[in-house]
Amino acid sequence: MNLFNILRDHVATQPNAIASRSSRRVVTYRKFWSRIERATARLKAEWHVQPGDTVVYWGQGHQDALMLYIAIARCGAKLLPLEHAPLHQQSIAILQKIPAVLLLHDDETIFEVPPAAPLIVNLSSLIATRCHHTPAVSEDLQQPSLLALTLAADGTCVAAEKNLQQLMDHAEIDVAPDAAREFRIAEALFDADIFAPQVLPVLVAGGTIVFR
């Protein structure tokens, strides 16, 4: 399954259905895809993210982080999600091992020491204003788009690259009429037991992801 085409199909067939909602905002599938396109343009044209680059998300389960990931995948880049305190504590070592060109963080985040990224911006700036560029995108499902970090027994972090095709293949896709059409993000969005098996099937089914 091609997630990009599925989302575009939702825009055509159910544009006013709710893709995500939170205490901040309600986002229809029309707005969801429009903001993904805006985020893609900003990443490529303003922040100069190239295929193969790594972009860090520093926060936890923010509504805009879902749009960020899909936009990064469209750019052919990789998202490195740092959503848990142990990863924040090891961020110096992690970012030395996996250099990032850009870091986006939840707006309420306060850094005692700024992470080692060339550019650090608020996540809200991803879609805050319209980006007047329309850069070409390849939408290659085989390109690595997510770096899954796990803690080894010795406390070091191990990164595994995942592409969107792998994530879709491993998702428990169920689009039957009685399929679950809503999933609530309690904390982290990109954990292995949350993103592929829970979040992606709801998006495929045209359902709603609920954020805090």
How far, in Å, CA of 70 to CA of 116, rounded? 24
Q: So what's the pLDDT on residue 80?
A: 98
Q: Residues near 107 by Cβ (< 8 Å), separated by ≥ 6?
A: 122, 123, 124
pLDDT tens for the 212 residues of the chain, in order: 899 999 999 999 999 999 999 998 999 999 999 999 999 999 999 999 999 999 999 999 999 999 999 999 999 999 999 999 989 999 999 999 999 999 999 999 999 889 999 999 999 999 988 877 788 888 999 999 999 988 777 767 788 999 999 999 877 655 545 556 899 999 999 999 999 999 999 999 999 999 99
How far, in Å, CA of 48 to CA of 51, rounded? 10
Name the residue among 82, 86, 120 with its Cα closest to residue 104.
Answer: 120
Q: So what's the pLDDT on residue 37?
A: 95
Pairing status of strand 26-28 against strand 18-21: antiparallel
37-206 — its CATH code? 3.40.50.980
Name the residue among 144, 135, 178 with its Cα closest to residue 164.
Answer: 144
Contact criterion met (CB below 8 Å) for 108 and 92: no
Q: Residues near 23 by Cβ (< 8 Å), separated by ≥ 6?
A: 212
How far, in Å, CA of 56 to CA of 43, rounded? 12
pTM (2 d.p.): 0.93
Name the residue among 179, 189, 144 with its Cα closest to residue 162.
Answer: 144
How far, in Å, CA of 65 to CA of 104, rounded? 9
Q: So what's the pLDDT on residue 168?
A: 93
Would you list the domain boundaries of the chain?
A: 37-206
